[in-house]
Amino acid sequence: MANDVVVVVFDLDKTIIDCDSDNWVVDELGFNELFTHLLPLMPLNSLTDRMMMELHSQGKTIHDTEECLKRTPIDTAVISAIKSAYAFGCDLRIL
């Protein structure tokens, strides 16, 4: 058992970050009106793909998305738990 590795799996949305990452990016980059308009008309995965294409067509870059995600709300207790699991040697995975 000494060589066993503990794997800790986290979900990103509403677990690590206190919101839905797709909605956060759309809101932060100013595309909420289009998202809200299309939401009742499309499945969520298709809508997310469409919004990413729209962001790109309006000049938004991967860097813009990365910077936006860096501003997501994260509870300090979650940060502490992740750091503790890492320090303990756990293999950390995010879905």
* Helix 62-70 × helix 21-28 angle, to 10°: 110
Spatial separation of the C-alpha atoms in residues 38 and 31, rounded to whole Å? 11
Spatial separation of the C-alpha atoms in residues 75 and 4, rounded to whole Å? 30
Enzyme catalytic residues: 11, 13
